């Protein structure tokens, strides 16, 4: 750029975007889309990112607070995309501008134009300044943070469920004896759901990395439930993607033109990145002579859908008899240019940690039938509903109250919930509603 004063001009435009991209006074749909797309474009380039980082502090914080509004009842994909760009270049094996699995594809058919939400034409340029601002907002206002993360987890559940549902339809069509045409539009929607899932997981990785206290600090009333919800969705994604007999594996082997972006590498690196961020302190303090299971490690292990084999899968550890013929087993080891030795070692340490404490929990014995939560059959009873006095574990009732206030068992409205020590437990469903 040789135009005199262009830096000042970019800063003025950047300040306008920060102050007004989510201005409620702007109601024209086209104008709103143009502003958020312009902001997203500014985030991607080093020069324009520098101009965004140079605007006054109040404008930068206005932008961050707008990005962290709950995703319900608004167009959220573009805002989430901006958050991903702020993080891209910092996450686990997230230094690429185009997913490495695409570079490993061989054959006579050329790749379709890569329209993935994560891919970009230049190397990623993460913003450490805006990451600090995100942490500042999330640590200072638990109500805003809880509402935002609940909305991210809700959208992640939706996007991944839609994605898996479409994969199952594609699998069913592909195994029919007669030749059936799959519409390109359906394939593109499936790929978009995968990209949305991936982007949402990367935002969760950023939050877990820059502000792990949100999930791990016991003094935060929402930490236990948020940690439980996060572990649940991560385990579900891992299990679906790592299974050698799943629709995911089946469709990957079909090598369908409009589904090039769908692969093990981008989604598994994202999920593993979140787990490593959550378990970092537990891994650093791991001592085989300490029998007490650390809090976050325990939250992962007691999740009913947790399978250690799903994590071992990322290093190529597949049970004998499940390896598909003519299909090279997936492994991070196959991506030596994209997954560093240090990252591989951290995955090994995580597996060692989880394996060790899984054995400790098994040795501790099974919870008696009278003490176990009859909803998840994994955690002990720790919450009592009022006024009906039915009970479950805290995580199950907290999840349920976000959808319905009717008791699991008698359908009577739940007014509040108490712990076994008679203390009133925080109601995150009402907390999130008030914040939004």
Q: In this predicted model, what pLDDT tens digit does every residue of 21-69 receive, in sequence order?
A: 888 899 888 998 999 999 999 998 898 999 999 999 999 999 999 999 9
Cα-based angle 149, 299, 407 (whole degrees, multiple of 5):
70
1 inside domain = no
Task: Take residue 297 and report the two structure tokens written for it.
Answer: 């490690």
Q: What are phi and psi of 381, to 5 degrees?
A: -60, 130
Domain containing residue 196? 102-363
134 versus 225: the higher-pLDDT residue is: 134
Q: Which of 354-363, 384-393, 397-406 has the highest mean pLDDT?
A: 384-393
Task: Take residue 328 and report the two structure tokens written for it.
Answer: 């090279």
CA dihedral 143, 404, 425, 74 (to 10 degrees): -10
Nearest-angstrom CA–CA distance, 119 and 98: 5
Cβ 305 vs Cβ 235: under 8 Å: yes
pLDDT at position 321? 44
109 versus 37: the higher-pLDDT residue is: 37
Among 48-62, 148-162, 379-393, whose mean pLDDT is lowest? 379-393
93 inside domain = no
Count Cβ atoms below 10 Å from residue 109 Cβ, excluding itself.
9
Residues 356 and 390 in one domain: no
- CA distances (Å), origin 350, targets 247, 266, 285, 303, 309: 27, 19, 12, 16, 13
Residues 406 and 330 in one domain: no
Single out the residue in 307, 331, 363 at which a domain terminates. Answer: 363
pLDDT at position 108? 45
Residues 57 and 148 in one domain: no
- CB crowding 228-267: b at 16 or more within 10 Å, else e: bbbbbbbbbbbbbbbbbebbbbbbbeeebebbbbbbbbbb
Single out the residue in 310, 328, 363 at which a domain terminates. Answer: 363
Residues 338 and 390 in one domain: no
94 inside domain = no
Nearest-angstrom CA–CA distance, 106 and 255: 11
336 inside domain = yes
pLDDT at position 111? 45
Residues 30 and 129 in one domain: no
The CATH number linked to 400 is: 3.30.40
pLDDT at position 363? 61
Residues 387 and 358 in one domain: no
Q: Which one, of 46, 72, 42, lies nearest residue 60 by Cα?
A: 42
Residues 235 and 349 in one domain: yes
Among 174-183, 246-255, 317-326, whose mean pLDDT is lowest? 317-326
pLDDT at position 435? 41
Please give the mean pLDDT across all residues of the chain. 87
Q: Which one, of 11, 185, 148, 121, lies nearest residue 66 by Cα?
A: 148
| Distance from the first to the final alpha carbon of the chain | 42
Peptide bond just before 387 cis, omega within 30 deg: yes
pLDDT at position 270? 97
375 inside domain = no
Task: Take residue 402 and report the two structure tokens written for it.
Answer: 């976000």
- 271-319 pLDDT, tens digit each: 999 999 999 999 999 998 888 899 999 999 988 889 999 999 999 986 5
Residues 58 and 202 in one domain: no
- Split into its structural domains, the chain has a count of 3
Cβ 190 vs Cβ 169: under 8 Å: no
89 inside domain = no
Residues 352 and 254 in one domain: yes
Establish how many alpha carbons lie within 13 A of residue 24's alpha carbon, considering only the half-sphere containing its beta carbon.
Answer: 3
Cβ 51 vs Cβ 134: under 8 Å: no
Residues 245 and 282 in one domain: yes
Nearest-angstrom CA–CA distance, 420 and 383: 6
pLDDT at position 113? 46
- 346-385 pLDDT, tens digit each: 999 999 999 999 988 876 556 677 888 888 777 788 899 9
- Residues of the chain with pLDDT > 90, as a percent, come to 56
Residues 149 and 261 in one domain: yes
371 inside domain = no
Output DSSP code: residue 328.
P
Contacts of 264 (CB under 8 A, 6+ apart): 101, 241, 242, 252, 330
Q: Taking the complete model, does pTM exceed 0.85, yes or no?
A: yes
Task: Take residue 84 and report the two structure tokens written for it.
Answer: 């991903």
Nearest-angstrom CA–CA distance, 246 and 291: 36
76 inside domain = no
Residues 29 and 167 in one domain: no
277 versus 1: the higher-pLDDT residue is: 277
The β-bridge partners of 383 are 392, 419
């Amino acid at each position: 750029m040789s135009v005199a004063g262009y830096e000042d001009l970019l800063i003025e435009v950047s300040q306008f975007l920060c102050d007004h991209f989510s201005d409620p006074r702007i109601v024209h749909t086209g104008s709103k889309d143009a502003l958020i797309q312009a902001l997203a474009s500014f985030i991607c380039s080093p020069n324009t990112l520098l101009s965004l980082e140079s605007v006054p502090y109040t404008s930068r914080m206005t932008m961050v607070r707008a990005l962290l509004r709950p995703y319900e009842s608004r167009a959220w994909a573009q805002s989430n995309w901006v958050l991903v760009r702020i993080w891209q270049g910092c996450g686990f094996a997230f230094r690429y501008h185009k997913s490495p699995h695409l570079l490993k594809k061989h054959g006579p058919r050329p790749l379709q134009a890569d329209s993935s939400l994560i891919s970009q034409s230049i190397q990623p340029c993460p913003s450490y300044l805006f990451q600090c601002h995100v942490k500042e907002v999330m640590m200072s206002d638990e109500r805003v943070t809880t509402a935002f993360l609940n909305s991210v987890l809700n959208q992640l559940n939706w996007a991944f469920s839609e994605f898996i549902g479409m994969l199952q339809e594609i699998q069913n069509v592909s195994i029919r004896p007669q030749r059936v045409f799959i519409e390109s539009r359906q394939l593109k929607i499936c790929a978009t759901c995968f990209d949305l899932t991936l982007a949402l997981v990367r935002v969760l990785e950023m939050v877990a990395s820059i502000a792990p206290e949100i999930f791990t600090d016991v003094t935060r009333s929402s930490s236990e439930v948020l940690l439980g919800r996060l572990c649940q969705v991560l385990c579900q994604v891992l299990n679906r993607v790592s299974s050698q007999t799943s629709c995911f594996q089946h469709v990957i082997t079909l090598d369908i033109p409009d589904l090039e972006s769908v692969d093990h590498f981008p989604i598994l690196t994202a999920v593993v990145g979140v787990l490593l961020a959550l378990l970092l302190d537990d891994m650093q303090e791991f001592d085989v002579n300490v029998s007490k299971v650390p809090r976050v490690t325990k939250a992962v292990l007691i999740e009913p859908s947790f399978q250690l084999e799903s994590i071992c899968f990322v290093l190529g550890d597949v049970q004998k008899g499940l390896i598909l013929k003519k299909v090279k087993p997936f492994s991070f080891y196959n991506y030596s240019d994209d997954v560093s030795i240090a990252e591989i070692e951290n995955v090994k340490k995580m597996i060692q940690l989880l394996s060790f404490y899984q054995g400790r929990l098994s040795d501790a014995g099974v919870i008696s039938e009278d003490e176990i939560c009859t909803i998840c059959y994994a955690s002990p009873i720790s919450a009592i509903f009022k006024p009906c006095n039915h009970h479950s574990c805290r995580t199950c009732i907290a999840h349920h109250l976000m959808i319905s206030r009717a008791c699991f068992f008698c359908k009577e409205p739940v007014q509040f919930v108490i712990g076994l020590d008679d203390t009133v437990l925080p109601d995150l469903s009402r907390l999130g509603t008030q914040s939004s």
